[in-house]
Each structure stands twice: as structure tokens, then as C-alpha cells.
Structure 1
Amino acid sequence: MSWTRRRLLATAAVAGAGVLVGCDGSSPEVGPTDPTTTEGPSDDPTSDATTGDATTEPSPTAPAEPTRLRVVGTVAEGLTVPWGIAFLPGGGALVSERDTGRIVRVGAAGSVRTVTEVAEAAAAPGTGEGGLLGLALSPDGRGLYAYHSTDDDNRIVRMSWNGRALGRPRVVLDGIPRATIHNGGALAIGPDGLLYASTGDAGDGSNAPDVDSLGGKVLRMRLDGSPAPGNPYDNQVFSSGHRNVEGLAFDGAGRLWASEFGNDAYDELNLIEAGQDYGWPRTEGPTDAGGITGPQAWWPTDAASPAGLAVAHSTAYLGALRGQCVWAVPLAGRRAREPRRRLGGEDLGRIRAVALAPDGLLWVATSNTDGRGDPRDGDDRIVRVRIG
């Protein structure tokens, strides 16, 4: 695989292997390591999660402790199941709402303005976990890609963006299997300038290993939706054997990482490579099965349900729905070290989206209005999180 390498952020090498951890910091079974995964010392007991503004200082380029996270402000409140976050060159971000089909512009100082509504996503009956999902801004900043459900399928569309308004959706790729569960939905533009997308198995495990199906995959394509050069099959499929991937992110060396929902055993953090089979439905969690690529880190399913994913400073940050926290996972090149449970004591509830902002902070979005959570005042909200 030939990728154009570019350094996204300064990274620090660490050593280790994949790990198994529990929601409370315990090790419920014997794993590759014996991790200590408690919250650790208080980051700043005098700091409250108050409303922030556009003058928040950026995080250091290379924090001494990149697994240490601290809420430093609230970006926006009153959202409905925020899912995808695409940062804009001029500041702020476009944010998708899964259940309403809205794309809103969230200003750096907290303003929220509806930009458009993707009618097909909002109107799709029995959407469940589908709807309006991931977003990705085109490299030139003039187009927005969105992943959304319709009556019949999941699809990726492109809308022009002029800095103020979005144009009408134009289909880039359709025919992705949809169901009330396991719709995938993550989008990312790689350092190679190609578009990556994650899809779910749509509740049918047979889709995942079938390389002729777009379900249960990580896809790789040109920006017009056609298969990328060098793909392992004669279509958009890049990797197979996925149950439901909702997070994609590249590290500083151009490696692609994915957060994946398990069934009744283990959730996973996977390093994604061309042509690899990640096991579903044959395996779940660590495995020595032939022809299967196992995860780099894994959790009991009640500890994570990992959704959004960001990578910075050789650390992966996974938003956990059932786990109600952010898992910070140090990365040592192609390997993961022991995860650290963070923000679980901030009373944020279910956490879905995690995105790295241009200023080096994380935007972390709650998902308490999705029918499975306990909404707090102001939910759903996006908070600003300092690394280190």
C-alpha cells in the first residue's frame, strides 16, 4: 500500500501490546498485560466544566501525559444526538444530528445555527441507529461529505460548501446495507487524499466477510466514490470482517485506526490494513484463528461500546457509550498499550463523538438524547477537553 506520509501531530513512541480492561479499571480476565486503568489523580480539582469561549488556549504540541484529559469548557448545548464533527478552516465546525437530519454550524464561542436538513435521513422510517451520521470536509474545504440512511440503504453524499451554506446532496456511493442496527457511518479523508468510510453488517453477519458486499467493511475510494487505486478487490472494499465500526482516525504516521462494537464479548480498537479480515462473525476480541487479524486493544462490551475516535500524540481517544467515558489508549507504532479510563467522573453520561480540533483540544459530544441515555440539563452537548 503506497500512502503519502505527512505528519499530522508530533508523536512520541511508546512500547507495549494490546490489552483487556474493565469499565471500573479492573482486569476481568487475564489479558496480554496486567493493566492499571483507574482514573488516576485528579487533573485539576479547582477547574469546573463551565462554558468556554473562542479564546481557549491550545493544548501543548507534545503534552507530557497525553492520556490525561480535562474538561475546560462547554462548546455548545441543546443538540440532538450529535454524531459527526467536521472542523472548518475559519473556526467552528459543522455537526450532524443523527435523528433530526440537521447539519448545524457550531461556532467556536458556542453559537448554533442550522445550515441544512438532509431530508432523506430525517424521513427514513425505523432508522434506529441509522440517520445522519459521519461528516468529512473535502481537502480543499469546498465540499462536505455526509453518510446517511434512506428508506432503502445507507449512502455517502457530497454537498458544496461556500463558507455559509451547503448545496444539494449529490450521491457519491449508495447501496450500503442498512437496518435499524449496525449502520457504521464514520468518514475520514486520509493523508493520501482518499475518502474512507466505515459500514456495519446491518444485522446480518454474513455481510462482513463477503468482499462483494459493502456491509461490515472499511471502504476506501476516490473523492468521486470510485474504487481507490490499489484496493485489494475490484470495488471500494479496503478491509472486511467488521461488525459495526463508528470511528475512524489516522495517526501521525498515516496508519488508520478503527473503533468497533462487539456483540456480547468484546469491543475493539483495530489497526486497519488493506485486504485484512478482522474476524466477524467468526471471532470477537483477541484471537489466534488463521486468516484473521485480531484487535490491538479490547474491552468487555459493557465497558465501552466505542463510537467516535480521534488520534493525537500517539494516543487514541475513544468515546464510550455504555462505558460513559473516554478511553485513552497509548499507541506504540502498530501496537496499543494499556487503555486509561478518562472523563468517567465528569457526569457526561454516554459519549459518542470525539474529534481533534485545530487548536489541539478535543471536542467530546454526549449522546444522552438517543433513547438509551439519561439526559442531563443542556444535553446533548459538546465539551472542550484539554490533553495533558
Structure 2
Amino acid sequence: MDRRTLLIGAVGAGAAMLVGCSSDDDSSSLPTSDPTTSRSPLPGAVDLTVASTIATGLNVPWGIAFLPNGDALVSQRDDATIVRIATDGSVTTLGAVPGVAPRGEAGLLGIALDPDDPAVLFAFVSTASDDRVVRFDLDGDQLGDPTPILTGIPVGSRHHGGRLLFDDEGTLFVATGDAGNGETAQDKDALGGKILRITRDGKAAPDNPFDNRTWSYGHRNIEGLAFDADGRLWATEFGEKKADELNLIERGGNYGWPKVEGRGDEFIQPKVTWKTDDCSPAGLAITQSTAFLGALQGRSVFAVPLDGESAGEPREFFAGEYGRIRNVFVAPDDSLWVTTSNTDGRNQPEKDDDRILRVTL
């Protein structure tokens, strides 16, 4: 397969912790945690080390879903394909997803396996007319035709959200962006600027707060969703000019966009904020009482210690070493898979980009 090569050897890179982010301009600042939380380091601080490179030559790897045997399915945003990375290192293309219209930040985005049937895959895709959630049947290395289960999510060249996450009960959470129209985020009946909670057939899940698909609202653009060990839902959110956010998501909560960015007294407060030039938090993974964020502008991984509903001071790793970092996933062996995003048109890719790194804690 063109330029998709598994590298067995370890990458000679240790964890680097710097103050502030490496961004596209000269501005930098320390991230700020919620003033109601502890300002001192929380117990169980982690260190990160790049142990090896899983794969290279990928095209904007966006979503990862691990199969029961340890193989990984990876969605590629701009060429709208899904590849399978086996435990022995082989990489196979399952197929292209029909109807996807990549442009700007649009394309084939998040994926999630049905927790009760790993032969069923869900994906968030952008078409010419909308963003939507579709379902596939998997047959070995064959990708079936997509069946739409939720259509009509607003689409534009930016702010798609796109993350999919199942809970333990088989309910699907869907992060959507405002598609550049902030007012839709405050409309509880609109699909944009939300975290949606739906059934496998795309209907509103039981016990949703507004008797529709909306779980939380007032979001600009969420690309990261993760549960902590106690089942609390956390999300990363892109700001516009003031503040990127790490949020603890509450049922029916209003997170303020576009009325407020960052902290606002009448809305739910973020647990951590960064200046927008310093972070741009995309993917999110939680393990060992720590939230790990991929930072696109920051070109790094942030590790935020968690203690219940509190978040401590972020620590930064790998600043500037691998370019833009989009996603972080917890692998079956408890390592982290970290994806670069240097082929997305906003950075000069190196010859091995994009790549997936295996990071140990």
C-alpha cells in the first residue's frame, strides 16, 4: 500500500514538557484551570514517552476504533477511506465511503464500533448537503454500503464536530459543530453546536433532557469526547479568539456559545482554558485519572490530571516535535495512540506524515 508502512523500531523521543504551546504566531500563555479546582498537581502525575511509530503515510487520520482482536480501524478524512491496521503491522484498505464531500475541515471524521456487535461500524461523514451519521456492516476486510441513521446536521467548510462515542448502555453520543453559524448552538431543537445523544437507529435516546436528541448545547466545535472511570463525560472545544476549553458535560447544560467564550457567569464554566493560539484541542482520551488532549495549534499533547469533577494544571509533552497533533486514543494495551495532522493543509508535511505514534505512560 502506498506509503503506509508499519515501523517496528522505537522512535528515539522522550517526553518533553515545556511551558506554553508552540503555535502559528508568537503569542503564548499558560493554560488556566478552573479557579474552583486545585491549583497544585493532583496525585498520579504521568510522564509520556514515544515508544514506536505504528504507521506512516496516512491521510489526516481522524478516528480510530479498536476491534476485539486488537486490530484498529482508522478513518482518513480527505480521501474518505477506512484502513485496518492489524496487530502484526499490516495495513489494509477496507474501502472508500461513498458520498463524502471533503472540503476544509469536512470529510470522513469520527468512527465508533457498536459495543454489542463489532461487525457494525458507525461513522460521522460530510456530504455536499449535510453532515450525517451512517452505519456500515463489516465483513472481514470488506466495508458494506452506508445506511444513514441521522441526517440534516448543518454542514459548512468548518466546525463539524464529528466525534462519536458509545456509553456502556449502547447509547451513542455525537459531537456536532455550529458550521460557522453560532446562533444555532443556542437553539435546543437544532442539531448544530451540540452534543447529541441518540439510539443506534438515530432517534432521541430515552431520558434526554429536552425530549429531542440534544444532550448539551451552546457548543462551538467539539472534536473530543471521552468518559472518565466513573462515567463522567468530558469534551474538548475550540474557541474563536479568546479561549479553548476542556469541559465536564452536564445533562441539559448550556456552555454559552456564542454568547460567551470561555468563562461566563450564567453558563457552565470550563474546567480548563487555553488561549486559542496555544492549543486548539481536538481529540481526547482519559486514562489513569488524566485527560490527554491533542493540540493542533499547540503541536503537542496536554495531560490534565483529574480528581472527580476537578481538573489540575495541564502539562505539555512533545511540543513542536511532530507537528500538529489531532487525536489521542487509549489502545487495548493501555498505551496511547497519538495521530498527527500535517497533511490537512495547515502545515508542511514531512515525508512520513501523517503518522500514528505509540506513546507509553
With the length of structure 1 as denominator, give the TM-score of the two structures: 0.83
Matches within 5 A, 1:201-240: 201-240=178-217
What is the rounded CA distance, in whole Å, between the counterparts of 2:225 and 2:140 in structure 1?
A: 25
Match of 2:85 in 1: 106
Higher strand share: 2
Bigger mean CA deviation after superposition, 158-167 or 313-322:
158-167
Query: What secondary structure sits across from 2:135 in the alignment?
Result: strand
Match of 1:363 in 2: 337
Residues 1:128 and 2:104 are matched in the alignment:
yes
Structure 1 residue 162: deviation in Å? 3.1
Structure 1 residue 313: deviation in Å? 1.0
Residues 1:377 and 2:354 are matched in the alignment:
no
Structure 1 residue 109: deviation in Å? 3.7
Match of 2:230 in 1: 253
Structure 1 residue 23: deviation in Å? 2.2
Query: What secondary structure sits across from 1:161 in the alignment?
Result: strand
Is 2:80–2:108's contact at 8 Å kept on the other side of the alignment? yes
1:85 maps to a residue whose letter is: I
Structure 1 residue 26: deviation in Å? 4.9
Would the alpha carbon gap of residues 305 and 154 (structure 1) be closer, same or farther in structure 2, given more than 3 Å must change?
A: same
CA RMSD of aligned residues (A): 2.0
Match of 1:152 in 2: 129
Query: What secondary structure sits across from 1:301 in the alignment?
Result: coil
Would the alpha carbon gap of residues 360 and 214 (structure 1) be closer, same or farther in structure 2, given more than 3 Å must change?
A: same
Cα deviation code 1:23-46 (max 9, x no counterpart): 278538897389699xxxxxxxxx
1:384 maps to a residue whose letter is: R
Q: Unpaired segments of 5 or more residues in structure 2?
A: 1-18, 23-27
Cα deviation code 1:340-369 (max 9, x no counterpart): 111215x21100011100110000000000
Structure 1 residue 159: deviation in Å? 0.3
Would the alpha carbon gap of residues 143 and 265 (structure 1) be closer, same or farther in structure 2, given more than 3 Å must change?
A: same
Query: What secondary structure sits across from 2:256 in the alignment?
Result: coil
Would the alpha carbon gap of residues 29 and 148 (structure 1) be closer, same or farther in structure 2, given more than 3 Å must change?
A: closer
Match of 2:304 in 1: 329
Cα deviation code 1:209-266 (max 9, x no counterpart): 1011000000001111111100011221100000000011111101111010000011
Residues 1:386 and 2:360 are matched in the alignment:
yes
Structure 1 residue 67: deviation in Å? 2.9
Is 1:27–1:35's contact at 8 Å kept on the other side of the alignment? no
Q: How many residues align?
A: 335
Match of 1:94 in 2: 73
Query: What secondary structure sits across from 2:183 in the alignment?
Result: helix
Q: Unpaired segments of 5 or more residues in structure 1?
A: 1-20, 38-63
Match of 2:5 in 1: none
Is 1:75–1:108's contact at 8 Å kept on the other side of the alignment? no
Query: What secondary structure sits across from 1:142 in the alignment?
Result: strand
Match of 1:338 in 2: 313
Would the alpha carbon gap of residues 29 and 306 (structure 1) be closer, same or farther in structure 2, given more than 3 Å must change?
A: closer
Structure 1 residue 324: deviation in Å? 0.3
Would the alpha carbon gap of residues 222 and 151 (structure 1) be closer, same or farther in structure 2, given more than 3 Å must change?
A: same
Is 2:301–2:318's contact at 8 Å kept on the other side of the alignment? yes
With the length of structure 2 as denominator, give the TM-score of the two structures: 0.89
